[in-house]
């Protein structure tokens, strides 16, 4: 009977420690996510992203980017 209580107590402590680690990890992810969003807003970084693939000899995208005022090369 005493051995069973000891095993249950150790299992209970393990579950408590695992719960604490999980809670701190979730809290850390939320803080980093909110801080990143705050930084992006303060730095006035746009939320748009343009991606494309480069085809040899096709300079249409490069020409368009050179004409844009907001694009720094």
Q: What is the pLDDT of residues 10-28, one digit of tens each?
A: 999 999 999 999 999 999 9
- CA 70 to chain centroid: 26
pLDDT of 8 reads 94
- Of the segments 5-14, 41-50, 60-69, which one has the largest average pLDDT value? 5-14
- Is 54 a member of any domain? yes
| Closest of 33, 37, 41, 17 to residue 9, by C-alpha | 17
- Is 73 a member of any domain? no
| Count of structural domains within the chain | 1
- Has residue 59 got a pLDDT over 80? yes
| Six token digits for residue 52 | 């494309």
- Is 72 a member of any domain? no
- Has residue 1 got a pLDDT over 70? no
- Is 60 a member of any domain? yes
- Domain residues for the domain of 29 are 2-67
Q: Would you report the helix, strand and coil content of the chain in percent, each value rounded to 5?
A: 65, 0, 35
């Amino acid at each position: 009977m005493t051995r069973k209580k000891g095993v249950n107590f150790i299992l209970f402590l393990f579950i408590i420690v695992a719960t604490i680690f999980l809670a701190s990890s979730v809290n850390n992810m939320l803080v980093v996510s909110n801080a990143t969003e705050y930084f992006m807003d303060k730095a006035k970084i746009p939320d748009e992203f343009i991606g494309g693939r480069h085809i040899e000899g096709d300079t249409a995208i490069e020409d368009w980017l050179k004409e844009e005022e907001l694009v720094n090369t």
